[in-house]
Amino acid sequence: MSRSAIRASSTRKLSAKNPCAGCGGQCCQYFALNIDKPETPGEFENLRWYLLHKDCEIWVENGDWYLQVNRPCKAVSRDGVCTIYEDRPTICRRYKADGCDRNGDGYEYEQHFREPEQIAEYARQELARKRRLRRRATTNGRRKK
């Protein structure tokens, strides 16, 4: 399940001891890795390859690109409780519950790709736009001389 699908806006009172209590482990159902913004046909082709895999999506937020893998954490029990909460990894400890999937205000992606065809179409448009800009810059450079 994608993070956009599990996100629910609410104003819950967070427990100081365990702000995740009662959540069900929504943020523990995926992880997202920051990736470089694609610039070349080859880089876009790599992103298309990612999307050919099950449970993967790519999104852009505040200009930053992310690869999201929708696979649950092994330490989350069937009822959504972290079984290693007291010894959880540092990345989990740093995660702020006030802006999480359960307690935040939702996500507004600049781009969101779930299918390889979506990134392929975006690549065609973006690379064509860049070619037009380079041609204009070259043409304008010649006119100024």
Min mean pLDDT across 25-29, 42-46, 53-57, 110-114 is at 25-29
| pLDDT tens figures, 31-45 | 999 999 999 999 999
What whole-number distance in Å separates Cα of residue 30 and Cα of residue 70? 4
Instruction: Return the domain boundaries, the chain.
Output: 3-144
DSSP assignment, residue 27?
A: G
122, 113 Cβ separation under 8 angstroms: yes
| pLDDT tens figures, 68-111 | 999 999 999 998 888 998 999 999 988 887 777 777 777 889 99
